[in-house]
Every structure is written in structure tokens, then in C-alpha cells.
Amino acid sequence: MTVLARDRYAVAIVGAGIVGLFTAYRLARAGAGPVLVVDRGFLSGGASGRNGGGVRQQWETRATVRLARESVADYRAFGREFGYNIWFRQGGYLFLADTPSELEKLRGVTEIVRAEGLPARLLDADGVDSLVEGLARGAVVGGAYLGSDGTLYPFPAVWGVYEAARSLGVEVALGVEATGVTQRDGRVTGLVTSRGSVAADRVVNAAGGWSGDFARRAGLPVPNVATRHEILATEPMKPFLDPMVVRASDGLYLSQTMRGELVGGLSLPHPPGTGGGMSTSPQFLPRMARTVTALFPALGALNVLRAWSGFYDDTPDGLPVLGEDPRLAGFVHANGFGGHGFMLAPATSRRVAAAVLGTASDLDPALFGPGRFLDPRRAAPVERLQLG
């Protein structure tokens, strides 16, 4: 049985996924004092071990493009910093448009990305065909492409940050569930877990799909909703697909690993919340097979090796929630990433660590701060490119 080593920590982090571990690592590097990370499951048991490994910089929001660009630079340097090869391959991201209206939406995305200094390109149907072979004739009218986007292997990334954090003295307690916080006079005083309560000056909510549940247990209603998304991997085949391919209309995504497997997913309607678990639904494989083979007819005979699912942590505006909650001092959010915590973890963890330490950050609280949902006059959703 896991026993916590101390009864007091400077910071307690809920969630040992890539966001929580990166945040712990940065706090330890900054000399924040004893740091505890707890997780109800095992390492890589949540979304950090269940995603397709995509890392892209094409977004509708300029601030998100900047965070993603910084994260790409960090992943390029990951092996030198952490000593683990994450097989980061920058084969590009290709968003497909199957209607003129979808292509116009991608035109707007491309203009934003180019304005941030990245050489994104809007393509016609011939341009898409020049990048990807085997597409069904007439399946797309164009697309958007950025060659410095790419894919990585999630597991060595998680292990690399985990080992680095532990080498700096971070305590990572797996199989320990966070059930709430203690507080006094409007400030966090500790974390309540399935292994007892510990004192803590700061608590960071990096619980991914369970972050909404944990915030509400802390007495902080949030609009985060866990939504289940399914994914599969096939047998290896001869390499033919260089970029990650994402269809804008339905969120279908597909990439090929360096070993030749195809990894891809498609969103199906599932009830919100984590109650449905992370298995595969009966509807997924037939629907995925029909969808993929309509786009790539030659893949019809390909065998599926395994399928699974995981949870997105979705917010109403499609943007993550980062920073201290104005309703409870010392309670810091690092959640609401949708399915893109891996893409943004290196950059966003710097800002979360700054919030914990009380130092300045370049994040706009109107875009990313938890207090934005408390303003009823706030505008409608901002970031809609929450796929792939």
C-alpha cells in the first residue's frame, strides 16, 4: 500500500499525466520545496498514455499557436534535456476539407498561423494529392498543411519527465486518489487523499478527464466536461503516410508510425463523464472502418491490432484552464486541454509553475484564466479546432 512520505508539502499536484509531471519538474527545478504528485491510476493510465501522439501548431487562436510553437521547440530538445528518445518526427499535419465551406474555415486558420511566423499553406485538391497518396478521387477539395507539426511516442515522454522529476526529489504516489482539499479563510491548506490528508500551500488540479470532478469536490463548480474518444492501431504496412491527416468536418485523424502501423480515431457520441470507462464501443470499429476506407480505399484489407479509448477534458470555449482560481487562493488549474494536453504541456506547464510560484506570466487571463467562466458577459467559444 502506498504511504505518503511527508505530512506537509509546498505543492500537491493531482494527476501524474504529462501536464502534472511537467509542472512538478518545473517547480522542482525552481526550488519550490517538497512537491507531491498523486494519481488514482498507474503511470500513463490516463489520456497521456492513450493519445495518438500528435503535436501541432495550427490553431484558431494566436495565443495557442504561440504555446504550441514553444512546445514543439521543447519536444525537439527533449532527448538532450531528459535523455529519452521520444521519436518526434516532424512529418507535418494536414487538415482535409471535404467542402468549400470547410476549406474557407481552414483558410482563416492558415492566415492566423502564418501571421505568427509559421509557413502554413492552404492547398487545393491537387496540392493535397501531392502530399498523400491513395486518397479517394473527389474525397477532398483542399486542405491546410504545416510541415513542422508532427507526432511522437507518448510513453517515453511520460517516463522521461517522470524520472527527471523524481531525480529532483518530487514524490510521485500512484494508486492514490485525491478526494478533496482542506481550506481555511478562503485559502487551500491541504489535500485529502485515499491515503489520508496532507498539508499543502498550493494544490494543482492536473487531473485531465477527472479534473472537473476534482474541482467540484473542492467546492469549485467548473464547466469542464469529460468526453470519451476512441482510437485504434493496425498491423504494420509499407510507409505511405508522412503527415498526420485530420478531416475538419468530423475529426477523423490518421497517422503512420515509423514501424508502419496506422494510428487513428474518430469521435462518436458518448454520454459525458467518466462513468463509461475507457474500453471500445461496439459501434467504433465498423464506423471507423467505413470512414477510413471511404477516404483511403486501399486500406480495406488492413487488420486492426487493438482499440481503446480515453477522455478529453473539454471546456465550453475550447481553451485550457490555467492559473489560480479566484474563488480559492492556492488552488491552481492546469486542465481543460480537450485532447491536446500532450501538444501544449511543455509550454503551459511553465505558466502553471509561474502561477504556483506567484511570478508573472504572459498568459491572458481573459483567454486562459479560470475566472473567465465567472463572467456572464463573456463572448462565445473561441477555439473550435479541437480535433486531431
Domain ranges across the chain: 8-50+155-224+316-374, 89-150+226-314
pLDDT of residue 78: 98
Q: What is the pLDDT along the chain (388 residues), one digit of tens a residue?
A: 578 999 999 999 999 999 999 999 999 999 999 999 999 999 999 999 999 999 999 999 999 999 999 999 999 999 999 999 999 999 999 999 999 999 999 999 999 999 999 999 999 999 999 999 999 999 999 999 999 999 999 999 999 999 999 999 999 999 999 999 999 999 999 999 999 999 999 999 999 999 999 999 999 999 999 999 999 999 999 999 999 999 988 889 999 999 999 999 988 888 888 887 788 899 999 999 999 999 999 999 999 999 999 999 999 999 999 999 999 999 999 999 999 999 999 999 999 999 999 999 999 998 999 999 998 777 656 776 666 5
pLDDT of residue 341: 95
pLDDT of residue 61: 94
pLDDT of residue 387: 63
In angstroms, the CA 369 to CA 147 distance is 31
pTM above 0.75, yes or no: yes
Sign of the dihedral through C-alpha 55, 61, 64, 69? positive
CATH architecture of the domain 8-50+155-224+316-374 equals 3-Layer(bba) Sandwich (3.50)
pLDDT of residue 275: 81
In angstroms, the CA 310 to CA 279 distance is 8
Measured at the alpha carbon of residue 260, what is the angle toward residues 259 and 264, in degrees to the nearest 5?
115
pLDDT of residue 386: 64
Give SS3 for 192.
strand
pLDDT of residue 167: 98
pLDDT of residue 1: 57
Question: Regarding the domain delimited by 89-150+226-314, which CATH topology (the fold level of the hierarchy) does it fall under?
Answer: D-Amino Acid Oxidase; Chain A, domain 2 (3.30.9)
User: Using a CB cutoff of 8 Å and minimum separation of 24, what contacts does 252-256 make?
Assistant: 252/291, 252/292, 252/295, 253/52, 253/54, 253/387, 253/388, 254/292, 254/296, 255/52, 255/53, 255/54, 255/91, 255/151
Sorted by sequence, the CB contacts under 8 Å of residue 131 that are 6+ apart come out as 92, 94, 123, 145, 242, 243
In angstroms, the CA 9 to CA 360 distance is 23
